[in-house]
Structure 1
Amino acid sequence: MENFEYFNTTILSQHLILRNEETKFGEKIKYPANETISLADFINETKASFIIFGIKEFAGIKANHGRVGATHSWDIFLASFLNIQNNKYLKGSKVAVIGCLNYDAYNTEITNLDTNKPADLERLYEIVAEIDKDVTYLNTLIHRAGKKAIVIGGGHNNAYGNIKGLALATGSSINVVNFDAHTDFRLLEGRHSGNGFSYAFNEGFLDTYCVFGAHENYLNKHMIHQFKNNTDKLHLFTFEDIKVRFEKDFFTSINNINKLIKNKPYGIEIDVDAVENISSSAMSSSGFTVTETRQFVNLTANNAHASYLHLCEGSASLGTSPANMLGKLLTYLVTDFVKAQLPYVKS
């Protein structure tokens, strides 16, 4: 793949910090021996049940008129994830890190594009559509091999490729739960980070879609109309319902979502802007706690049909907290997902 950057020993050594009488996760994970092996062959042959890859791009966020970061969460994630302990609670051998889709080659062009100019905005839509193809392809490879995908980084535009990839691999539409301050169900106006789910739904790849934690201040009339007119397929649990007015209980709402999505393969989407004070494109002072987010992942991932986890929109340059705080959050959520899934994967 033209835009794919393999994870290798050199990258591992840049992040791994060894200690005497300790075994770090990075010492035990699986990864391609070299770049001569095809991704398809490695994914099919590895004994690891979970395949992790990153996405380094902000094109979708810019196309959605959002704040573009300067640092990618993939590198921040690796620095944290590779240095947790390999112990009885979780073994690194269960996980393979294959690398990342890296779109740095587009950076200069994207920086110079003006979203106020129709031609420039259309070019951004085209770039996002190209990224869609790569994300779809990787997800399809992973799921056809019977593995679980864990996707780190990029804008929420990449939900489209995650959904389409799983749908193509299974041969049918899939379900999704999105833990997010926004529905990302905007108009079909050209691909960007705000309409990955609406495109997937319109094209028949997404069946049941549940949004958990959307902030009512950011629900436009089009979104409200769509959810009102598709109550059998689109389900909305707002943040205000759960945490402000207490009209819906946190855990009961999660259980209700599980009932809606568990009948077929589904994905778990986590936009870190839903977590209070976490550095992201749409960082907010009001949101769920890190612990509540971990509980959400644990409870929604505890089913054989949970097929992928996507953590997106994070960028340490868009907040004031240290980068390792974002890295630790992503690591906690990944390990929570894997631990919840262990009873359902091959040993």
Structure 2
Amino acid sequence: MNQLKFYSEKQVSKLISTRQGETKLAEKIKVATSFEDVQKSEAKIVIFGIPEDIGVRANFGKPGTSNAWQAFLEAFLNVQENQFNSGENVLLLGEINTSEAMEKAGNIDVSDPNYVQKLGDLVEQLDAAVSEVVKNVILAGKFPVIIGGGHNNAYGNIKGAAEALGHAINVLNIDAHTDLRRLEHRHSGNGFSYAFKNGFLEKYSVFGLHQNYTPQYIYDEMNASEAYQYSLLEELPKHQRTQEFSQNLAFIKANKFGLELDCDAIANFPSSAISPAGIDLDEARTLLREAAKEKNCCYLHICEAVATNNFPTGKALSYLVTDFLKEKKHA
């Protein structure tokens, strides 16, 4: 599968910080060297990354989401294997091969009048790659966990899951934004718009939406349709957030659904649209654990994070994933 860049055991071993008497997740996690390993493996969780920020740039955002996957991987592989965490049921698939698209994006002159449209063409290529991988992972009977890149990749996740399952799916998105912008060139702000347009998305719930950064035309669209539900951050007292999140889950959980977490939703989390307002990291961890309990959850996607020198982005992402996996193994 040429959409994927696989890792060797040697490459993974270089990322492990070993200590006598300790075992890290990386020492138990299986590493795929071809897609056939996904089909043969007994592991139910398949993790892969999307190291790109093309969709963010196409949405006039700040680049940097391309580095989150590597930061996550280095932290996640060094989590302790113990009575709470296990890598036995995890297969590391590798990453979407984005190097050519990233190089092309970097060579487009920002003064080009068609700059964002050309980036959008590259995003469409990424859409095809992401959807093909997600589709085949689910067809193999596995659960995909997708890390990194912009929220443009939600479209590929939804399309791939819907094609694998043979029907449109629902989505619960923990996000400061709806990403329901107009059907212009593809970018990180219209993945859900395109998923609806192309019949892959049936019901859509947004939790933690910020009043200040959603255009009125999107509010009008959501208010007029029963396919949408949203919970505004400003109307979520901290002590009621978990309870409110249960209502968002109830809206979509009767059928197969994808779970999306945009790190923009977490206050002060380094991301493409970092905000001083939002839920905190521990709240995000709690919400992921709640969603993981649902049997109809068919994928997890964490996106828009940016690795920086003054925040442990990789470690934060690894907390989110390990929390989710602890609950998912019982669902």
Instruction: Give the TM bin, normalised by the shorter chain.
Output: over 0.9
Residue type at the aligned position of 1:104: S
Structure 2: distance between partners of 1:108 and 1:98: 23
SS of the counterpart of 1:182? coil
Give 1:219-234 correspondences, 5 Å limit.
219-230=214-225, 232-234=226-228
Amino acid aligned to 1:214: L
C-alpha separation in 1, matches of 2:65 and 2:298 = 30
**1:331 — aligned with what?**
318
Q: CA deviation at 1:114?
A: 4.5
Provide the rounded CA distance (Å) in 1 between the counterparts of 2:221 and 2:317.
31
Post-superposition offset of 1:338: 1.1
Give the secondary structure class of the aligned counterpart of 2:229.
strand
- Counterpart Cα distance in 2 of 1:70 and 1:226: 29
> In the TM superposition, what is the alpha-carbon distance from 1:87 to its structure 2 partner?
1.4
Preserved contact between residue 16 and residue 77 of structure 2 (Cα < 8 Å): yes
CA distance in 1, matches of 2:302, 2:168: 21
> How far off its partner does 1:102 sit?
3.1
Match of 1:96 among 88, 91, 95: 91
Partner of 1:65: 60
Larger deviation: 84-93 or 165-174?
Answer: 84-93
- Over the matched positions of the two proteins, sequence identity in percent amounts to 38
Find 1:299's aligned residue among 269, 284, 290: 290
Higher mean alpha-carbon deviation, 5-14 vs 308-317, is at: 5-14
SS in 1 for 2:270: coil
Distance 1:150 1:13 in 2: 21
Please give the alpha-carbon distance, in whole angstroms, between the structure 2 residues aligned to 1:67 and 1:82.
Answer: 28
Q: Please list the CA deviations of residues 232-279 of structure 1 after superposition, one character each: whole Å capped at 9, or x if unmatched.
A: 111111111114xx7x93122111112111111111101111111111
* 2:40 equivalent to 1:45: yes
The root-mean-square deviation of aligned C-alpha atoms, in Å, is: 1.6
Q: Residues 296 and 106 from structure 1, CA distance in 2 versus in 1: closer, same or farther, beyond 3 angstroms?
A: same
1:207 match: secondary structure: strand
1:125 aligned to 2:117?
no
Deviation per residue, 1:100-150 (Å, 9 max, x gap): 013222334312435564422221111000000010001001111111110
SS of residue matched to 2:114? helix
For 1:176 and 1:118, the matched residues in 2 are separated by: 35
Q: Which amino acid is 2:23 matched to? A: T
What CA deviation, in whole Å up to 9, does each residue of 1:6-34 have, x standing for no partner? 122122122101111111100000112x4
1:116/1:340 CA distance change after superposition, 3 Å: farther
**Unmatched 5+ stretches in structure 2:** none
**What is the letter of the counterpart of residue 19 of structure 1?**
R
Cα distance change on mapping 1:134 and 1:253 into 2, 3 Å: same
Counterpart residue number, 1:255: 246
Aligned counterpart, 2:306: 315
Secondary structure at the aligned position of 1:343 is classed as: coil
SS at match of 2:182: coil
- The residue number in structure 2 matching 1:77 is 72
SS at match of 1:83: coil
Could you tell me whether the CA contact under 8 Å between 1:301 and 1:341 is conserved in 2? yes
Letter in 2 for 1:321: N
1:16 has 2:10 as partner: no
2:196 is the counterpart of 1:201? yes
Q: Distance in 2 between matches of 1:296 and 1:11?
A: 33
Aligned to 2:231: 237
CA distance in 2, matches of 1:70, 1:273: 12
Q: Which runs of 4+ in 1 moved over 6 A?
A: none
Contact 1:113/1:121 (8 A) holds in 2: no
**Separation in 1, partners of 2:73, 2:21:** 22
**TM-score if structure 1 supplies the norm length?**
0.91
Q: Which residue of 2 aligns with 1:29?
A: 29
For 1:338 and 1:70, the matched residues in 2 are separated by 23
Aligned 8 A contact 2:266 2:279 in 1: yes
3-state SS of 2:330 partner: helix
Aligned to 1:141: 136
> 5+ residue gaps in structure 1?
none
C-alpha change, 1:70 and 1:157, in structure 2 (3 Å) is closer
Q: Distance in 2 between matches of 1:118 and 1:156?
A: 24
Q: Is the 8 A contact 2:66 2:149 kept in 1?
A: no
Contact 1:51 1:95 in 2 (8 A): yes
1:321, distance to aligned residue in structure 2 (A)? 2.1
Q: Does 1:180 align with 2:175?
A: yes
Contact 2:65–2:148 at 8 Å: present in 1 too? Answer: no
